[in-house]
Every structure is written in C-alpha cells, then in structure tokens.
Amino acid sequence: MSIKDEREEHILTHLAARYIAREAGRDTLITPTRTELSKNRKNVTIFVSVYPNEQTEHALAFLARHKDLFREDLKKTSRLAVLPYIKFELDYGERNRQRLDELSREM
C-alpha cells in the first residue's frame, strides 16, 4: 500500500468520525476504527465500533441509511480524486480485543 492510499484512508476515517459525531444521536457511541480502500479506489469500507453493544444493530442501520448522505458530505469537505462508494461494517477485531482485555483483567 502506498503512502497516498494510507493518507486517503486516514482522511476518510477522520471525515467519517466528524460526520457521525455531528449526525448520530447521543445515546450510542459510534467510532470509526479503520478504513479499507479498494485497489481501484472506487469502494471503501469503514469499520466501526459501537458502545453499548446492545445498540449495534441500530447503529449499523443508521449508518446504512446515511451512507449516501455521508458521500454527499464528502463531496463538499474533501478533495478526493475519485469519490468512493461507502460501506460501513462492524469491526469484530476491536470487539475481540475488548473481550480479551476484560478476560485479562479478571485473571
């Protein structure tokens, strides 16, 4: 992966965090953890963690409804050469890491 790709992923993660903070409700914490850009730069998957875990389905539904609005926001706030199609997914790696932290504290 090139430095340009890494920078674009970082920018997309940051812009997603700003958009979610502005548009999401205050009862659920939705945090973008990482972004994966496709090789052709036309698709991007933004991985998120959700707290509390019971609100995961609600948060993913919210993000699915807002992916086109977020893309429109990207048109205004970024200067990306190719505006990618957005997909939000739950970051299971982050959830597993949190579970391991809980288990290690119990020992």
pLDDT number for residue 82: 83
Are 16 and 30 spatial neighbours (Cβ–Cβ below 8 Å)? no
Please check whether residue 32 is in contact with residue 74, taking contact to mean a CB–CB distance below 8 angstroms: no
- Number of folded domains that form the chain: 1
Q: How many residues does the chain have?
A: 107
**What's the pTM?**
0.85
User: Residue 79 is part of which domain span?
Assistant: 3-106
Cα 96 to Cα 82: distance, rounded to the nearest angstrom: 33
**In angstroms, rounded to a whole number, what is the distance separating the alpha carbons of residues 87 and 9?**
13
Q: What are the angstrom distances between the C-alpha of 97 and each of 49, 71, 107?
A: 11, 30, 16
CATH of the domain at 97: 3.30.300.20
| pLDDT tens, position by position, 31-72 | 999 999 999 889 999 999 998 888 999 999 999 999 999 999
